[in-house]
Amino acid sequence: MRATFLYGAGDVRVEDAPDPTIQHPTDAVVRVVRACVCGSDLHPYRSMQATVVGAPMGHEFLGVVEDVGADVVTVRPGDLVISPFAFQDNTCVYCREGVQTSCVHGGFFASGDVGGAQAEAIRVPQADGTLVKPGVALADTDDAMLASLLTLSDVFLTGHHAAHMGRVGPGRTVTVIGDGAVGLSAVLASKRLGADRIVLMGRHRSRTDLGVEFGATDVVAERGEEGVAKVLELTGGEGSHVVIEAVGLLPAYEQAYGLVRPGGTISRVGVPQYEEAPVGFRSLFGNNVTLNGGPAPVRAYIEDALPDVLSGRIDPGRVFDRTLALDDVSDAYRAMDTREALKVMLVP
Amino acid sequence: MRATFLYGAGDVRVEDAPDPTIQHPTDAVVRVVRACVCGSDLHPYRSMQATVVGAPMGHEFLGVVEDVGADVVTVRPGDLVISPFAFQDNTCVYCREGVQTSCVHGGFFASGDVGGAQAEAIRVPQADGTLVKPGVALADTDDAMLASLLTLSDVFLTGHHAAHMGRVGPGRTVTVIGDGAVGLSAVLASKRLGADRIVLMGRHRSRTDLGVEFGATDVVAERGEEGVAKVLELTGGEGSHVVIEAVGLLPAYEQAYGLVRPGGTISRVGVPQYEEAPVGFRSLFGNNVTLNGGPAPVRAYIEDALPDVLSGRIDPGRVFDRTLALDDVSDAYRAMDTREALKVMLVP
């Protein structure tokens, strides 16, 4: 099969690779129908040391089951399935508590001996706990529906996780920092959960325009202290009940505690590119600010979101503004790295 | 009147001071019946630069109303009242959201032009929003009841705040780091909220013994990595749903994220003596750990706790293991600084 590997900063290639096979009785092999490039893929794309052994890439996909191990009971060859970006048994103690990304038998795609999803096919460990049938056959979908279903693999439900952890709901003001695909998804998720007011902080007009269509009531292009002042002004000096940090860089976190309301929540879904940050009296403690978030336990949220996607009530797939063939994956990375494209879908 | 002032590290004195008077129509003047020394008073007691103008001290008290301003309607001279350690109007937007410590008209005792509570009398700003009548007359109380009512001013409800923010309840394992009066109060509060298992981390036998009487099911004397390993072992390797950090030093925080369960909460009520700390993928983000807590909005919790105190169902006043006259306040600080006493009550 053809599959994507990263050999160093800026050096991403599609190559021939062995077809994935069942290795454990709980595995499935899925033929990938749609995959995509994640903002988090850009971190190694920008910084990885050159290597002779390529790293498999991609963790968001939907596809059709091709083969299943002897113990797999919930999916059959031919089923259209959505996969979370992490696999899990969905039965362990942490899974039962809704933290599937910390599953004791779980892990991440494109990591260790588990291949990447920017490929023609992929082995899915813990298939019963991982794969979800959307309740529609491939033949009954169209491109727009596939795009929206694909976002349930990561990006929309990562935005949803942020909003859920922030306890977004009616009467709450939400500020989303970051106009990338996760930030825009967080806007859509906040709207879906009933937020009254959604401030989107971003400076890319085409992106913030989509944010407004998704439900943002205000757009703030300013950053840093200026951005904080603007959001405080918009909220009558009170600050935002929930701040969703969808960037992952320290200045975005600093912005977050600058504009969060006393007693409010900073919910992070941008993977932090820092380890140490202010958490003391002046930043979080003094005003009883809650800090939470993390890798989204997507598996916990798929079934709840599916009816809204299938009915067309929400169309999270609009974050994809470009579709490329798998063989053009290097163009996909380049387009996202230069911000020409918001998020690129790949068709194997 | 007599009142306590700190002049530098180790130099705390009781002196004559002007009697407090009504300065705003929303003020009350309260004759202090019981006050005490807080763990947070020890920070300046250990580190304050010498000064010629003493800093007023003390923020925990109950007493009898002596005088009220023209606008005060909820309390009258002669009423026994409990005061939270912070004053507030209890009507502003943040108060209504349960964050009274961030009240727009609020502030802290022993700060600015507001006197301290380790004194014979004190001016209470925002009396209607601040003072709570326990529903019992001074003549109908005894020493033990006064001690327990005094803890509703700060220490017991600070422990309660930690447990509340950690969403302690049945089925949850709680670990409390710190065997000071706040830590022990957090044990009692966790027990009251129905926690199944309460691990107390502390090494002072007389204190942890009281912790066991308050409801701790396990005591861990080890600290640091050893302490983390011990709690993980006690929880079958899973970690603690809630970790209450009642110390305020960085090693205690590091211990907290070492033993918290994926998806769990670190609730801090020890005032952090640090500003920067680890919050990235390895400490909080990777396992979706929530960090919250802050200065306890005690005012939000007093009415709910009163019936349990008045009925004797809980006796949080047992954290006081010494009672001294106000004039002996320097002995009180010394005894707490050297850990001879857990918490000292002062009788003016």
Sequential DSSP letters for B14-30: EEE-PPP---STT-EEE
Query: By CA distance, what is B283's nearest residue in A?
Result: A275
Distance of CA A263 to the CA centre of its chain: 27
Considering only the beta carbons, identify the residue of A102, A276, A279 that sits closest to B287.
A102
Same domain, B254 and B304: no
3-state SS, A37-93, equals CCHHHHHHHHHCCCCCCCEECCCCEEEEEEEECCCCCCCCCCCEEEECCEECCCCCH
Give dist(CA B242, CA B224) in Å, integer. 17
Confidence of residue A241 (pLDDT cuts 50, 70, 90): very high
Considering only the beta carbons, identify the residue of A263, A284, A290 that sits closest to B94.
A263
> A81 with A75: CB under 8 angstroms?
yes
Contact A288 B293 (CB under 8 A): yes
Contact B280 A276 (CB under 8 A): yes
B254 neighbourhood in chain A, CB within 8 Å: none
pLDDT (0 to 100) of residue B331 = 98
Same domain, B10 and B143: yes
Give the global pTM: 0.96
Burial B244-280 (b: 16+ CB within 10 A, else e): bbbbbeeebbbbbbbbbbbbbbbbbbbbbeeeebbbb
Q: Which residues of A touch B (CB under 8 A)?
A: 93-94, 97-99, 101-102, 165, 238, 261-263, 268, 271-272, 274-295, 297
Same domain, B62 and B196: no
Which of residues B293, B308, B334 is at a domain's end? B293
Same domain, A60 and A128: yes
Confidence of residue A56 (pLDDT cuts 50, 70, 90): very high
Give dist(CA B324, CA B340) in Å, integer. 14
Same domain, A132 and A24: yes
Give dist(CA B118, CA A105) in Å, integer. 56
pLDDT (0 to 100) of residue B112 = 85
Report residue B268: phi and psi, to 5°. Answer: -105, 130
pLDDT in single tens digits along all 348 residues of chain B: 999 999 999 999 999 999 999 999 999 999 999 999 999 999 999 999 999 999 999 999 999 999 999 999 999 999 999 999 999 999 999 999 999 999 999 999 999 899 999 999 999 999 999 999 999 999 999 999 999 999 999 999 999 999 999 999 999 999 999 999 999 999 999 999 999 999 999 999 999 999 999 999 999 999 999 999 999 999 999 999 999 999 999 999 999 999 999 999 999 998 999 999 999 999 999 999 999 999 999 999 999 999 999 999 999 999 999 999 999 999 999 999 999 999 999 999
pLDDT (0 to 100) of residue A299 = 98
Same domain, B83 and B39: yes
Same domain, A19 and A130: yes
Can you read off the two tokens belonging to residue B97?
Answer: 């959201």
Per residue in A125-171, pLDDT tens? 999 999 999 999 999 999 999 999 999 999 999 999 999 999 999 99
> A208 with A220: CB under 8 angstroms?
no
Contact A289 B294 (CB under 8 A): yes
Following DSSP, what letter does each residue of A207-253 receive, concatenated?
HHHHHHHHT-SEEE---HHHHHHHHHHHTTTS-EEEEEE-S-SHHHH
Query: By CA distance, what is A92's nearest residue in B?
Result: B238
Contact B285 A271 (CB under 8 A): yes
Domain that holds residue A113: 2-154+297-347
Number of domains in chain A: 2
Give dist(CA A39, CA A42) in Å, integer. 5
Same domain, A11 and A149: yes
Domain of residue A31, CATH code: 3.90.180.10
Give dist(CA B314, CA B215) in Å, integer. 11
Amino acid at B106: G
> To the nearest whole angstrom, how far is the Cα of B299 from the nearest Cα of chain A?
14
Amino acid at A175: T
Domain of residue A245, CATH code: 3.40.50.720
> To the nearest whole angstrom, how far is the Cα of B55 from the nearest Cα of chain A?
21
Same domain, A149 and A27: yes
Which of residues A274, A293, A312 is at a domain's end? A293
Percentage, residues of chain A above pLDDT 70: 100
Distance of CA B88 to the CA centre of its chain: 17
Q: Give me the torsion for CA of A185, A189, A194, A196, rounded to 10°.
A: -20
Query: By CA distance, what is A166's nearest residue in B?
Result: B290
B289 neighbourhood in chain A, CB within 8 Å: 292, 294
